[in-house]
Structure 1
Amino acid sequence: MDQLEQRAVEILEGLAAQPAAPFFEERPARFILETLANLKGVETRRDQFGNVIAHYRNLASDAAPRPPIAFVAHMDHPGFEILSKGPGERVYTARALGGVPMASLKKPVPVLVLTPDGERLPAVLEPMDQSDSADDRLVGVRMKYAAEFSMPAAVIFDLPDFSLDGDIIRMRAADDLGGCASILAALERLVADSVETDFYAVFTRAEEGGLHGARLMAE
C-alpha cells in the first residue's frame, strides 16, 4: 500500500467512526470540514441544504481558460429515524430511510440509537403490524434499557465501524464513505503537490432518501 492509499484508508477509518443516516449527517460533515481546514488554499462552506462544498483553484494568471472539475460523494447511508413513542415500554416507532434490507423490517435486528452528544444506545428492531398504515416501512425500536433522547433520532445497524484485514476492509457503510475518503485524499495530494487545477469537492446529504442534497444543489 503506497502513501496515498494509506492516507485514504486512514481518512476512511476516521469517517467510519462518524455514524450517520439520511438527514443525520452532522458527524461526517464535521469530520470532513475539520480535515479540509488543514488544507491551505481550499475554500469550504456548507450550503443551505447541508451539503459540504470545497473549492481549490490553483491556476497561473496566464493559464488558458478551463472548466472546473467536481468530484461528488454522499455522506449518508441507510438507516432509520425514530418518529414517536410506540406501544409498550421502551418501544418507539421508526421509519426506514434509504435502501435498508427488507429483512430488517421483518425480524429482530440489533441497532444503535444515536444521541446528539454522540452516545450510542443499544436497541433492537421489531416488526410492526402495519395493516392499518399506508407506510410499509415502519418498524418498532425496543431500547435495551430506559433512556432519554430527543426525537427525531437516527438509528443505525449495530455493526463494527471499521476493520482492516490485509487488503479487505469491513465496515458498516462503505457506500459512500469510500467516495468521501477518496476525494479528501485526492484533494490533499493536489494541495501538497501544488497541482494546477480548478477543483471542487462536493459532499452531499440525504442521497439515500432520494438524492435530496444533490438535487436541491443542482436546482
Structure 2
Amino acid sequence: MRARRLDMHQYLLFLPTEKLYSRAMNARHAKLLTELLTQPTAPFREEHVVAVVQRVLQQAGIPFFCDPVGNVVVGCASRADYHRLAREKSGEPLRLFIAHMDHPGFHGLRWVSNMRLRIKWHGGSPVRHVSGSRVWLATAQDYRAEGKLCRVRLLKSKHAIDTAEVHVTGVTNGARPKADTLYGGFRFRAPVWRAGKKIYTRAADDLVGVFAIMATALELHKKSRGKKSPPFLGLLTRAEEVGFVGAIGHFELDCLAGARRPVIAVSLETSRTLPGALVGLGPVVRLGDRRTVFHPGYLKVLTDVAQEALPGGHQRRVMDGGACEATAAITYGLPAIGLSVPLGNYHNEGFEGGPGCRAPRSPAPEFVHLDDIEGLLTLCRALMRNGLPWNKPWESQRRLMRRRLREYRRLL
C-alpha cells in the first residue's frame, strides 16, 4: 500500500492565525504556537517538534545545539559554549528554563493483519471509553493514516493504556510503512482550534511550555543583539512522559559541573487543573509537584515577581496532580522553581469535558486559556530582569519583621 499523506493543515480550521488568537498575541507568537500545537509528537518521537524549533531558531540567528540524547539546548551553540556560560563569574543566576516536547502516545509494534497494527502506549491516557476512539498515525516524514483503537489492554495499575490494536483507515493500496516507524495519539476535529479564549488541542502538554521558551528566547535575542548573552538557557527535552528520561540524560552529562554562578532550573509545564489552579485565572506559581516542594528562597523571588507583574492575574499552589522536570533538576542538585499553565482534560482524559468529549473521562482534546499563556510569557520575561534579589530573597520580609519587633518591644 502506498500511504496517503495527510497534511497537517487538513486538520486545521480555516481561520487566519491572527483570528485564531485575536489580539492577545503578536502575529509571530500566534504563528509559532499554532505550528507547534499542530505537530505530531509522542515519547521518543519528537522529531517534528524538533524540526520546527531548529528552523525558527536558525531563522532568528539564536544559537542552539542538540545534546547526545536529542534534547535541544537553546541559547548556546555547543557544549563548550554551555560550559563557558555556566562558568562566567557573575552574581546574575543562569536561568535554565525546561519544557518537554513529547506528549503521551503510542508506537507501532507489528502488523497483525493488512489493516491492523499492534501498538504499545507510552505515558498517561484515559482508561474509559477508549475502544473505538479515533487516532492519527505519523512517521518521521509526515502524517500517514487515521484509525480506531480496538483490543485495548490497560496496565496492571489501570492508570493508562498498555497495548492495543489500531484498525487503520485513510490509506490507499501500495507499500505500507514498517510498523515500528509509525506512532500516534488521539485524534479530534483538528490539532488546534479556538472557542472564545480557550484553545483546544490534542497536545497542549507540554508544547505550550516549549512555545513559552521559544518566545522568550526570541524576545531576549532581539533585545540583546550585538550585546553580551543574557543569563538564559532553554532545555527542550524528550520523553518526559515516561519519567523525565530526556532530562535525566541531560543532567547525567554534567554540563553544569564547575559552574561559577548560581544556576536556577525553571520548569514550565502545562499542568492538570486543581482547586486553586483553574483554567482562565492566570498562570500558576508552582510551589511544588507530587514529588517535592521547590526552593523556598527562589520561590519568594518568583512570588514577588508575579505579584508585581501580574497582580490579581496569577495563581499559586502546589501542583501535585503530577510530577515535573523540576524534580529531576532537584535530584541532580539544581535548585528549582516552576510555572504552570492550567490544563483542562489532562492527558486527553475528559475530566472537564467540552467539545470532542463523548462521555466523562473519555478521550478528549486538552485545552488551555489564551490569557494564561500570555501571563506565562509575562512571568518568563519578568524572571529575566537583572537585579532580582536572588541572593537575599527574604530581605524585605526581614525588615518588616524587625519593624514589627520594634513596635512591640515595649510589651515584651
Q: What is aligned with 2:167?
A: 142
Superposed displacement of residue 156, structure 1: 1.7
Aligned with residue 108 of structure 2, among 82, 86, 106: 82
What is the alpha-carbon distance in structure 1 between the residues aligned to residue 221 and residue 142 of structure 2?
Answer: 32
Equivalent residues in 2 for 1:124-143 (5 A)? 124-128=148-152, 137-143=162-168
**Are 1:154 and 2:183 an aligned pair?**
yes
SS in 1 for 2:178: coil
TM norm structure 2: 0.47
More strand per residue:
1
What is the alpha-carbon distance in structure 2 between the residues aligned to residue 91 and residue 22 of structure 1?
Answer: 22
**Are 1:31 and 2:59 an aligned pair?**
no
What is the alpha-carbon distance in structure 1 between the residues aligned to residue 28 and residue 194 of structure 2?
Answer: 14
Equivalent residues in 2 for 1:1-219 (5 A)? 1-3=23-25, 6-40=27-61, 42-55=62-75, 64-86=90-112, 88-103=113-128, 106-128=130-152, 137-144=162-169, 145=171, 148-152=176-180, 153-159=182-188, 160-194=190-224, 197-219=230-252
What is the alpha-carbon distance in structure 2 between the residues aligned to residue 148 and residue 46 of structure 1?
Answer: 31
Superposed displacement of residue 35, structure 1: 0.8
Q: CA, structure 1 residues 10+165, in 2 after alignment: closer, same or farther (shift >3 Å)?
A: farther
Between structure 1 and structure 2, the one with the greater Rg is 2
Q: CA, structure 1 residues 89+46, in 2 after alignment: closer, same or farther (shift >3 Å)?
A: same
**Counterpart of 1:121 in structure 2: which amino acid?**
A
Superposed displacement of residue 49, structure 1: 0.7
What is the alpha-carbon distance in structure 2 between the residues aligned to residue 3 and residue 154 of structure 1?
Answer: 32
Contact in 1 for aligned 2:47/2:140 (Cα 8 Å): no
Superposed displacement of residue 119, structure 1: 2.6
**Counterpart of 1:83 in structure 2: which amino acid?**
L
Contact in 2 for aligned 1:108/1:127 (Cα 8 Å): no
**Counterpart of 1:108 in structure 2: which amino acid?**
G
Q: Which runs of 5+ in 2 are unaligned?
A: 1-22, 155-160, 253-412
What is the alpha-carbon distance in structure 1 between the residues aligned to residue 24 and residue 118 of structure 2?
Answer: 47
Contact in 2 for aligned 1:128/1:138 (Cα 8 Å): yes
Superposed displacement of residue 151, structure 1: 2.9
Q: CA, structure 1 residues 65+39, in 2 after alignment: closer, same or farther (shift >3 Å)?
A: farther
Q: Which runs of 5+ in 1 are unaligned?
A: 131-135
**Counterpart of 2:184 in structure 1: which amino acid?**
V
Contact in 1 for aligned 2:102/2:241 (Cα 8 Å): yes
Contact in 2 for aligned 1:93/1:138 (Cα 8 Å): yes
Deviations 1:152-171 (A, max 9, x none): 12112112111133321111
Contact in 1 for aligned 2:133/2:148 (Cα 8 Å): yes
Q: How many residues align?
A: 208
Contact in 1 for aligned 2:103/2:203 (Cα 8 Å): yes
Superposed displacement of residue 103, structure 1: 2.6
**Counterpart of 1:37 in structure 2: which amino acid?**
Q
Contact in 2 for aligned 1:73/1:202 (Cα 8 Å): yes
**Counterpart of 1:117 in structure 2: which amino acid?**
Q
Identity, in percent, stands at 29
What is the alpha-carbon distance in structure 2 between the residues aligned to residue 20 and residue 186 of structure 1?
Answer: 22
What is the alpha-carbon distance in structure 2 between the residues aligned to residue 122 and residue 17 of structure 1?
Answer: 15
What is the alpha-carbon distance in structure 2 between the residues aligned to residue 215 and residue 95 of structure 1?
Answer: 23
**Counterpart of 2:185 in structure 1: which amino acid?**
I
**Deviates further, 187-196 or 152-161:** 187-196
Contact in 1 for aligned 2:40/2:184 (Cα 8 Å): no
What is the alpha-carbon distance in structure 1 between the residues aligned to residue 153 and residue 55 of structure 2?
Answer: 44
More helix per residue:
2
Superposed displacement of residue 209, structure 1: 1.6
**Counterpart of 2:126 in structure 1: which amino acid?**
P
